[in-house]
Amino acid sequence: MTLEFDIHGRVGDFRLRASGVLPGRGVTVLFGPSGTGKSSLLQMLAGLLPCEGHVRFDGHSWQSRHAALPVWQRPLGMLQQQPALFSHLTVAGNLEYVRKRRGGRVDVPAIVREVRIEGLLHRRVQGLSGGEAQRVALARALVGDPALLLLDEPLSAVDLPHRESLLQRIATIARRIPVLYVTHSLDELLYLADQVWLMDNGLLQDQGPVHQALASLDGPLATRSDACALLNGVMGGFDEEDHLQAVKTGQHVFWLPAAQSRETGEPVRLRIAARDVSLTRSVPEGSSILNILPVTVVAVTPCGPGQHVVRLQLDEHIVLARISSRSLRELAIQPGQRLYAQIKAVALA
């Protein structure tokens, strides 16, 4: 169920041009600063804003030179920054309205359980918190039995304690239908993304797997002050005495602080901030840092006054290190050099 498009249009004086292919499953994050056209692109794909070009989904034309499929006939669900719920209906009434309009083919109680809104069904929407309203809006979108989910900064009005719960729900949904998720939050990108689309000034400039986008020295993500890398791993053993959790990534093991054990073999992402990686020519003696791993320098690029980002190969993985120009010079760092990376902080994502 891939989405293919090549479109262009205008919103006032703002011009937008984008082409791409959305994978048939997983989360594709449309990322970029505010005002770069991310929301406009979503609305054009949904048919809410006029544009020219073609849009095809699962082999069916949504738009061509000759015709455009009405919004209500496109099998998609859409969730925007402010949930557009019907204020005169209860939560259950909002869900029932969509169920009847779309033909009643879905298991509404299952969706209610999945999004965890069982206790909200009889409430009026005016009294819902931001997080509750977004959960209800997500459930209502799913009741429409969409084949594609378009989410436009859905967590912007959600308080921090409820964000992870919604992110978990979205990640689960993306296992069965493709999700295009707009955000300018790097944390949300790191948690959700399988693919990343980078947008700037109305142009879709780059598309690729999240690990590739984060580590590309030619792109905008690796040179940010909060740049980081993602490594795929699995949970290993738990050290009860020191409350440390092992995470295996290929041939290496990382140790992380952990209050309690996680299930062995559970897939996990490791988020490694570039500023939390230091480099040394040899294995240091008496270091308090637990994660000291052999790496090979791939490339180096400046990232600001007196700062450089070093791209490092760790087996099949890429790690970034943000170091000073003085350190770069004193270590004589250059591509192909063998070093050791000291990773003092590894966060789970």
The model's pLDDT over 124-162, given as tens digits with 9 standing for 90+, comes to 988 888 888 888 999 999 999 999 999 999 887 777 777
Q: What backbone torsions phi and psi does residue 181 show, to the nearest 5 degrees? A: -120, 120
Mean pLDDT of the chain: 91
Task: Determine the topology of domain 3-215 in CATH.
Answer: Rossmann fold (3.40.50)
With a cut of 70, list the residues of the chain below it in pLDDT: 104, 345-349
CB–CB of 312/298 below 8 Å?
yes
**Distance in angstroms (rounded) separating the CA atoms of residues 181 and 155:** 11
* Non-local CB neighbours of 87 within 8 Å, separated by 6+ positions: 124, 125, 126
* pLDDT score recorded for residue 285: 86
pLDDT score at 311: 97
Place of tokens 């069965």: 176
Q: Tell me what pLDDT residue 349 has.
A: 52
Residues of the chain with CATH 2.40.50.100: 228-348
Provide the pLDDT for residue 277: 95
**Which tokens is 124 given?**
């009026």
Distance of CA 283 to the CA centre of its chain: 35
CB atoms within 10 A of CB 127: 9
Model confidence over 220-249: pLDDT tens digits? 999 999 999 999 999 999 999 999 999 999
Quote the pLDDT of residue 131.
84
The correct answer on CATH 3.40.50.720 for the domain covering 228-348 is: no
Distance between CA atoms of residues 214 and 209, nearest Å: 9
